[in-house]
Amino acid sequence: MIQAQNLSKLYGDSPALQNVSLDVAEGEFLALLGRNGAGKTTLLKLLALLTRPSFGSLSIAGVDQNGDWNTARRRMGLLGHNTFLYDDLTAEENLLFYANLYGVPDASHTCRETLETVGLASFGKELVRNFSRGMRQRLTIGRLFLHNPDLLLLDEPFTGLDDRATALLEDLLRAAHRQGKTIVLCTHQLELALKLAHRLLILERGKVAYLGPNQPDRMGQMRELYLQFAG
Ligand code: ATP
């Protein structure tokens, strides 16, 4: 699903990411860890095709730099720091907008189903401006899964979530993983990464400090490793 070779990203003269090579197979769950400023968001943005590498090559879902990025983008779901919800639209209209953008078949039905999944079925006709923070979070999570993406890219998705949204996202990620979706989760929460991921990528000052299996039966060692490079 992801093949990255020697990816580097410079901002001016400063390297945010240096020579990162990474293969992520279909169905894999990778956690991306590292201290503040280690380059996690930069790597996720590159994988989400939101920015271009300064050097190196990248292929996502079989599409390389010479191919049609939009084909790859349609297969992705991205959860970043922004909710990208429209306050002046209802919950249903927000979902319909994205469903149509992604060409989701039977969009109205899918949107109603999604509202149900995220516990907002009775609020579909409400303007999002009247929603609580938790409701917005759940709607954003619903939007993520709306077009049934094969590749989920998540940047600190659990930060600031209320308990209900946290449980919902965790359930949906586990279900997505069971369905064979590929997941890249950037997080500061080591426990969560150890609970969910197959493999860990720890970045240190833009370079790969560790790329290897998560070993849930060796929690102690995994914690030590994390503290060494990212604690
Ligand atoms: P955090 O955990 O704090 O979100 P991070 O691991 O996601 O950090 P990045 O946001 O990828 O790290 O940043 C990596 C480096 O690149 C940092 O030194 C940051 O200041 C720098 N950087 C990131 N984005 C830009 C930008 N648009 N312009 C200039 N420098 C940037």
* Ligand 1 lined by 16 (C-beta under 6 Å): yes
Assign 89 a pLDDT band (cuts: 50, 70, 90).
very high
Q: Is the per-residue pLDDT at 90 higher than 90?
A: yes
**What's this model's pTM, rounded to 2 decimal places?**
0.92
30 and 71 assigned to the same domain = yes
* Ligand 1 lined by 8 (C-beta under 6 Å): no
Distance CA 219, CA 186 (A): 19
Å from CA of 42 to ligand 1 middle? 6
* Ligand 1 lined by 36 (C-beta under 6 Å): yes
Given 122, 148, 174, the domain boundary residue is 148
Q: What is the CATH number of the domain that holds 59?
A: 3.40.50.300
Q: Is the per-residue pLDDT at 223 higher than 90?
A: no
138 and 156 assigned to the same domain = no
Distance CA 4, CA 103 (A): 28
Query: Which structural domain range is residue 226 located in?
Result: 1-75+150-231
- Average pLDDT rounded to a whole number, residues 141-150: 95
* Ligand 1 lined by 42 (C-beta under 6 Å): yes
Phi and psi, residue 153, nearest 5°:
-120, 120
Phi and psi, residue 59, nearest 5°:
-130, 130
| The amino acid at 52 | R
Listing DSSP states for 84-104 in one string gives: ---TTSBHHHHHHHHHHHTT-
123 and 167 assigned to the same domain = no
Say what the pLDDT of residue 113 is: 96
pLDDT digits (tens, 9 = 90+) for 177-195: 999 999 999 998 888 888 8
Radius of gyration for the chain, computed over Cα atoms and rounded to the nearest angstrom:
18
Q: Is the per-residue pLDDT at 131 higher than 90?
A: yes
- Average pLDDT rounded to a whole number, residues 127-144: 94
134 and 196 assigned to the same domain = no
- Which element (helix H / strand E) includes 30? strand 29-34
Q: Is the per-residue pLDDT at 83 higher than 90?
A: no
* Ligand 1 lined by 37 (C-beta under 6 Å): yes
Of 41, 153, 155, which is best to mutate to test ligand 1, by the most ligand atoms within 8 angstroms of its C-beta?
Answer: 41
Å from CA of 153 to ligand 1 middle? 17
97 and 109 assigned to the same domain = yes
167 and 66 assigned to the same domain = yes
Strands 182-186, 199-204: pairing is unpaired
Q: Is the per-residue pLDDT at 229 higher than 80?
A: no
* Ligand 1 lined by 80 (C-beta under 6 Å): no
Phi and psi, residue 142, nearest 5°:
-60, -45
Given 98, 130, 148, the domain boundary residue is 148
Atom of ligand 1 nearest to the CA of 12: 29
Structure token pair of residue 197 = 């991921």
Say what the pLDDT of residue 70 is: 87
- What percentage of the chain carries pLDDT values higher than 70? 100
Distance CA 178, CA 172 (A): 10
71 and 91 assigned to the same domain = no
The residue whose CA is least distant from atom 25 of ligand 1 is: 11
207 and 225 assigned to the same domain = yes
